[in-house]
């Protein structure tokens, strides 16, 4: 038992009531993440230095893409959670699938939803699938950071019991001091991954289509696998094969796919080179 435990700050998951409607921190995190990602993506597209010339897409085209990617995140994230994490429950209570305000989103499902949105939009408007995917992945950690902070505010997805000095007692986690694993994930999957991808972009990664996609996938997979060692597994699943969690198992194929994208990007010539 640790000698000192950080008290959990009591948050109200509902930010504001508007008559019969509620605005929750969880929903606000998604909205703000998409808006900030949109602003950042526009800046990346406008900066010709990152591309070695004009970007292979316009800002206007990406503006149209925002609705597509929003649907991909929501539909993919919810579908992934239902299928990967709690299928028996939702099979018995199908109407609750649509109750998104209660939480329950899967990153891996959301990622697949984004992949589908990128492919469909790029084909429809004859854009580079890989370059559009690169921009989308470059801004993705913003939403991941805000989503994990929302998990912390919601008093959910807390960590395993621990005696570290920064242990925290979560109201829904009982009296046991636990890792604030949501904050670990916010730091690694959000801030650190965002910084790494930005460094790669400044080094010319956008000139090699698919490199940011691969780097994002590998970086997220490593961060998620690491953080899962401190996060309490979902109670309806527990530990799976070899003591691994569902998040870790789903991250393995994601890492392999990311490595394939990196290899592909490095084997092909850059989009274009700057004029001397």
What was the pLDDT predicted at 88?
83
Kindly indicate the confidence band of residue 84, based on its pLDDT and cuts at 50, 70 and 90. Answer: confident
Q: State residue 131's pLDDT score.
A: 97
Give pLDDT, residue 276: 33
**For residue range 6-33, what is the model confidence (pLDDT) as tens digits?**
888 888 877 777 777 777 888 889 899 9
Q: How many CB atoms lie within 10 A of CB 17?
A: 9
Tokens of 124: 């429809």
Residue 83 has pLDDT above 80, yes or no: yes
CA 77 centroid distance within chain: 10
> Of 147, 141, 140, 153, nearest to 104 (Cα)?
147
Distance between CA atoms of residues 162 and 176, nearest Å: 8
The strand ranges marked E within the chain are: 6-7, 14-18, 21-24, 168-169
Whole-number pLDDT of residue 103: 66
- Per residue in 120-173, pLDDT tens? 999 999 999 999 999 999 999 999 999 999 999 989 899 999 999 999 999 988
Task: Answer yes or no: is pLDDT of 4 > 50.
Answer: yes
State the pLDDT at residue 96. Answer: 78
**Section 262-274 average pLDDT:** 81
Closest CA to 220 of 182, 181, 200, 194: 194
Sign of the CA dihedral 88, 93, 94, 98?
negative
pLDDT at 275: 39
> What are the structure tokens assigned to 86, written together?
């709690």
Q: How far is CA 49 from CA 42, 44, 67, 211, in A?
A: 14, 9, 27, 17
pLDDT at 2 over 60: no
Q: What is the pLDDT of residue 101?
A: 63
More confident residue, 112 or 19: 112
Tokens of 215: 């780097």
Nearest to 41 by CA among 73, 25, 75, 64: 64
Mean residue pLDDT of the chain comes to 90
CA separation, residue 202 to residues 192, 260, 272 (Å): 15, 22, 15
* Cβ neighbours of 215 (radius 10 Å): 25
Rounded Cα–Cα distance for residues 243 and 187 (Å)? 25
Q: What's the pTM value of the predicted model, to 2 decimals?
A: 0.90
Exposed/middle/buried for 123, CB within 10 Å: 0-12, 13-18, 19+? exposed
Confidence of residue 86 (pLDDT cuts 50, 70, 90): confident
Percentage of the residues of the chain whose pLDDT score is greater than 70: 96
Neighbours of 267 (CB within 10 A): 8
> What is the per-residue pLDDT for 263?
97
Give residues with Cβ within 8 angstroms of 137, minimum separation 6: 197, 212, 213, 215, 216, 217
Question: In the prediction, which pLDDT does 273 show?
Answer: 47
Helix 107-125 crosses helix 211-228 at what angle (to 10 degrees)?
Answer: 170
Q: Lowest-confidence range among 96-105, 115-124, 183-192?
A: 96-105
What pLDDT is recorded for position 14?
79
Q: What is the pLDDT of residues 50-74, one digit of tens each?
A: 999 999 999 999 999 999 999 999 9
């Amino acid at each position: 038992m640790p000698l000192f435990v950080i008290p959990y700050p009591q948050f109200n998951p509902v930010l504001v009531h508007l008559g019969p409607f509620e605005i929750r921190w969880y929903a606000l995190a998604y909205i703000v993440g998409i808006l900030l990602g949109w602003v950042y993506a526009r800046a990346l597209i406008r900066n010709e230095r990152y591309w070695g010339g004009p970007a292979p897409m316009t800002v206007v085209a990406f503006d149209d893409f925002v609705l597509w990617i929003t649907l991909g995140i929501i539909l993919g994230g919810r579908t992934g959670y239902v299928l990967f994490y709690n299928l028996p429950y939702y099979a018995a209570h199908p109407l609750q699938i649509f109750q998104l305000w209660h939480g329950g989103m899967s990153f891996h499902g959301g990622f697949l939803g984004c992949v589908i949105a990128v492919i469909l939009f790029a084909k429809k408007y004859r854009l580079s699938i890989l370059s559009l995917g690169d921009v989308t992945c470059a801004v993705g950690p913003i939403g991941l950071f805000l989503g994990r902070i929302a998990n912390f505010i919601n008093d959910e997805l807390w960590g395993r019991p621990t005696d570290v000095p920064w242990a925290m007692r979560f109201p829904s986690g009982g009296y046991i001091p636990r890792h604030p694993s949501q904050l670990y994930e916010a730091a690694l999957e959000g801030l650190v991954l965002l910084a790494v991808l930005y460094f790669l972009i400044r080094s010319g990664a956008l000139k090699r289509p698919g490199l940011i996609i691969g780097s994002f996938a590998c970086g997220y997979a490593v961060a998620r696998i690491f953080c899962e060692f401190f996060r309490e597994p979902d109670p309806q699943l527990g530990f799976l094969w070899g003591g691994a969690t569902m998040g870790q198992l789903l991250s393995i194929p994601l890492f392999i796919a990311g490595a394939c994208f990196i290899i592909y990007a490095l084997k092909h010539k850059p989009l274009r080179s700057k004029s001397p």
